[in-house]
A and B are shown apart, each in its own frame.
Chain A
Amino acid sequence: MKAKKLFFPMRLKFVILLCGLITAPFLISGIMTYSQYSKNVEEDSINYTNQIINQVSINVDRYMNDVDRLTMAPYYDNAVLDILRKHGTLSTSGSYVSSDQLAKMNLMISSLAVDRSEIQGILLFAYDGTLFSNLQNTVSKSWDAAQNEWMKEAEAADGELIVLPPHTGTYYLDEQRQVVSIARVIRETFTNKHLGIIKVDLTDQGFAKILAGTSASPNSLIYLTDRQDRVLYPFSSGLPLAGQVEKNENEESFIKATKRSDYTGIQVTGLVRKNEIKEGARSLAQYTLWITVISILIAYIAAGVASGRMVRPIRHLQMKMKRVQRGDFAVRATITTTDEMGQLTGGFNVMVSELERLVKEVYESKIRQRDAELDALQSQINPHFIYNTLESINSLAMDKQQEEISDIAVNLGKLLRYTVERKERFVYLRDEISFAEAYSQIQASRLGDQLEVEIDVELGHDYLMVPKLILQPFIENAIEHAMSADKLTVRLYTKMEEDHLLIFVEDNGMGLSPEKLQQVEQHIYATPVEHVDRRGFGERKKGFALRNVHWRLFLLYGEGCGLFIDKSNRKGTAFYLRLPLLYEEEEQA
């Protein structure tokens, strides 16, 4: 395994992938829908505004046309024309107005004003300074050119209709009224001589009525301007003027539509706030956003569940695989799906069962083989048979007073029992010494007085624990290598050193030459390759027994323990074993 590589579980990857796949299209479609929709809405509202403005323009034209007709009324009434002719000049008969003339004029003007509440007043200006109107009480009877600047404009139009932007009617007696007016110069039919000026003062009610008919939204603004871009409507109410509105707010935020009438020259301007249009789009966007969020959440949950379902068989398989790694071959994974995962799981099961079968086969065959070997061995040498035979020899020897033979038989029995029957790996030092003694007694009976084994072990060490079969090889070794013509004495004694037990085996034999010593050391300390486990006594390659003892101790107890050669010994060879002090602690407690 590589160290420290980030681990992402499969499920997490699945969830991230699925969530990504879900979120991206939702986002893209949402953004596109929103922008397209708001574009459409804008276009629609531009068209709609244009339509409204056209409609308004037509209505305004019609209205103006209507009002215009009023101004044409004096032409159809000769009496009125006559009166105007009489008052045409300042000098002739003075500005006296007879009651007859006044009555006639009033009749005509009043008839015009009937049922038109939006008309503030209809005024007829004669050039001698006389002012006729339908409002006798509130309008002065005469006028002054200096106070009526607009007249120049009307004169200049020479009988054509003019529209006057909001101005103050100076001739009103009660209050200074703001009015929009339509005026026309009345001319002599043939001479084109100016007879007077008719002026219709309008309140903004008329326009308001027209505009109210349109279905423009309450927050949109509609302005009427004349040819000189002077504002005609609105003028009396507190509504902000178009120019100001446009200046105050960014022009970008308005949809603007204009229409200029050829007939009156009145321009209709409509301003609709874009925000207002977008309000709809925004609420749609919000709506879609919520839907998107909810559906994404649902999709996420679904993704989590789905990935869990997808990953579960993998997890399951992984878990089972770990158990197989730990050596449990009875494990089978359950197949839940029929897809590749199911096939993989099936394959795993087949492999594991095959493994199980193989392991069992090998294991069983090994056991069977071992059993067979053991059986063969046991049938060859039935221990009971051997012990009985030894007992026969023993008693036979005693019968013939051959005590040495008896001793050999008894010791051989002990030897066999110790090596073959006792299976424990650790024994009391005392038992190990007894075994070494039994062995040396057999050897002594073979070698006669040539061999003497002195066991000089402190009695307090009797119950220390040592690995089995560590002493006998030394005696064997001494007999094999140290024997000379002289009597060989092998001395075995123990010492305690800190936490370690030292077991010395000394002989007074030939000893080792420096070269030989080196050779022996090399041999003992060389890493064991084979025969490590061959214990016991009997035929085997020379010197392996000591080596085995060393490696057994070394492997059991580690550095510092094992077999050592005591080089201070002057005569003969001296080995010692070093091992930790082991005892059965508080066995009786």
Chain B
Amino acid sequence: MITVLLVEDEVNLRTRFRKLLEEVIGGCRVVGEAANGCEALEWLKTQMADVVITDIRMKDMNGIELLKRLKEQYPSMPVVIVSGYGDFEYAKDAIKYEVTDYLLKPVDRVELNQVIEKLRKRLQPAAPAHSSAEPAEGEERQIIRKVKDIIASRLDQDISLQYLADQVHLNHRYLSALFKTESGQNLSDYVTACRMDKAKSLLRTTQLKIQDIARSCGYPNSKYFMSVFKQVVGSTPSEYRDRAGQV
């Protein structure tokens, strides 16, 4: 069970958010509520929570300021910001003070669930051991494994989220979220990484032309392939091959 300190200036929203966390998503308990940053800090003087979820715009002390203070006083405490503001300035400040996650209003259940999952993993590394959730998790793992197998077998072809979702009989959005929760990685980033691994191995072990390697890794356009390769690996394919050849 994750204990949460909820900081939000609107009472109604706070109440409903609490319900969402405790009843819909589950596994959470809101142990404290505060209307602004000052109250939150005051509350934390006497009590403790696993995580702080805060709004940005509040009277007396806003969420960014609170985040800053919290990072000073409790450096390891995760802080999640929930805000109507997607402004770059806020996001930048939030990243500067090492925000754990940044959710935009209106809050998407699926996204919130992902965040909570992530927090749970971080706070209770041994948690998966508890028995009731085991079959479900095993199933999820199986799905992810299956997806990964499919990806591995189709690296030279188009892989779309829809295709993968069809293969495992899941909604594509759900699959995407599930994948991210389980493997901690974006599905598309995972696919790209797999393709780059394949490319690297082809570059090392074969004398295939870069164009051919690109195609066998699912990139019909070799220029695009080279750009992605450079971004992921840090050098161009030919540089990589040269270096690999020297070793």
Contacts and interface: CB of A to CB of B under 8 A. Distances in A.
Contacts of A399: 16, 19
B16 A499 contact: no
B223 A421 contact: no
Given A454-B162, A460-B191, A499-B223, 5 more contacts: A456-B162, A459-B191, A581-B221, A583-B227, A588-B234
A332 to B, nearest CB: 41
B86 A460 contact: no
Nearest to A383: B84
A402 to B, nearest CB: 12
A398 B234 contact: no
B219 A387 contact: no
15 contacts: A384-B57, A384-B85, A387-B84, A391-B13, A391-B105, A391-B106, A395-B107, A398-B24, A406-B109, A430-B188, A457-B160, A496-B224, A581-B221, A586-B227, A588-B234
Residue in A414, A458, A460 whose Cβ sees the most chain B Cβ within 10 Å? A460
Nearest to B235: A589
Contacts of A458: 158-160, 218
A417 interface: yes
A390 interface: yes
Given A383-B84, A388-B13, A581 B223 contact: yes
B220 interface: yes
B74 interface: no
A460 B231 contact: no
Contacts of B231: 586-589
Interface of B: 10, 12-13, 16-17, 19-20, 24, 57, 84-87, 104-109, 158-163, 172-173, 187-188, 191-192, 195, 218-221, 223-224, 227-228, 230-231, 234
A308 interface: no
Nearest to A423: B88
B234 A384 contact: no
Given A398-B19, A459-B159, A460-B188, A586 B230 contact: yes
Contacts of B86: 417, 421-422
A205 to B, nearest CB: 121
Interface string A408-421: 01101110010001
Contacts of B108: 410, 414
A455 B161 contact: yes
A464 B231 CA distance: 13
Contact of A410 (B24, B85, B106): B106
Q: Which 9 A-B pairs have the closest CB atoms?
A: A395-B16, A387-B84, A394-B106, A390-B106, A458-B158, A462-B188, A459-B188, A391-B105, A413-B106
Contacts of B12: 392, 395
B191 A395 contact: no
A409 to B, nearest CB: 5
Interface of A: 383-384, 387-388, 390-396, 398-399, 403, 406, 409-410, 412-414, 417, 421-422, 430, 437, 454-460, 462-464, 493, 496-499, 581, 583, 585-589
Contacts of A455: 160-162, 172
Nearest to A458: B158
B221 A398 contact: no
A583 B230 CA distance: 12
Given A388-B13, A395-B13, A460-B159, A583 B106 contact: no
Nearest to B195: A460
Contacts of B227: 583, 585-586
A391 B107 contact: yes
A502 to B, nearest CB: 11
Contacts of B24: 398
A403 B231 CA distance: 40
Nearest to A437: B173
A388 B84 contact: yes
A423 B20 CA distance: 32
B221 A499 contact: yes
B177 to A, nearest CB: 13
B27 to A, nearest CB: 16
Nearest to A589: B230
Most buried by A among B13, B106, B108, B159: B106
B219 A460 contact: yes
A406 B48 CA distance: 31
Contacts of A462: 188
B156 to A, nearest CB: 11
Contact of B163 (A392, A456, A583): A456
Nearest to A493: B160
B13 to A, nearest CB: 6
A464 B223 CA distance: 13
B230 A392 contact: no
Given A417-B104, A459-B160, A586-B231, A391 B192 contact: no
A412 B106 CA distance: 9
B64 to A, nearest CB: 15
Contact of B234 (A403, A587, A589): A589
A435 to B, nearest CB: 13
A10 to B, nearest CB: 56
A454 B172 CA distance: 10
B117 to A, nearest CB: 18
A438 to B, nearest CB: 10
